[in-house]
Amino acid sequence: NNVPGIDADCGGACACATCHVYVDAAWLGKTGEKTAMEESMLDFAEGVEPNSRLSCQIKVSDALDGLVVRLPESQH
């Protein structure tokens, strides 16, 4: 969606970690759980925190309208 800082080089295949985001604490309960594959790919991302997600792996629904995420410093 041409969001600056979210390159998403692999096109959402959970194979690049260039879509790394930090999910705002208020939204963590609504974004679902990380899969083992996502956890493995996050090992290649910089500045991983407990609220880190690969944004391509968050299943979008109406319940996520207004979702707040922040970018790691390395992606600014």
Structure tokens at 64: 């996520």
Closest CB to ligand FES belongs to which residue? Answer: 56
Determine if 17 is a binding residue for ligand FES (CB under 6 A).
yes
Position 14 contacts ligand FES (CB under 6 A): yes
In the block, residue with structure tokens 């290649």: 44
Least distance from C-beta 37 to ligand FES, angstroms?
10
Query: How many whole angstroms separate alpha carbon 56 and alpha carbon 70?
Result: 14
- Report CA Rg, the chain: 11
CB 31 within 8 A of CB 60: no
Residue 71 contacts ligand FES per CB under 6 A:
no
Total number of residues binding ligand FES (CB under 6 A)?
14
Question: Rule CB under 6 A: which residues touch ligand FES?
Answer: 8-10, 12-19, 41, 54, 56
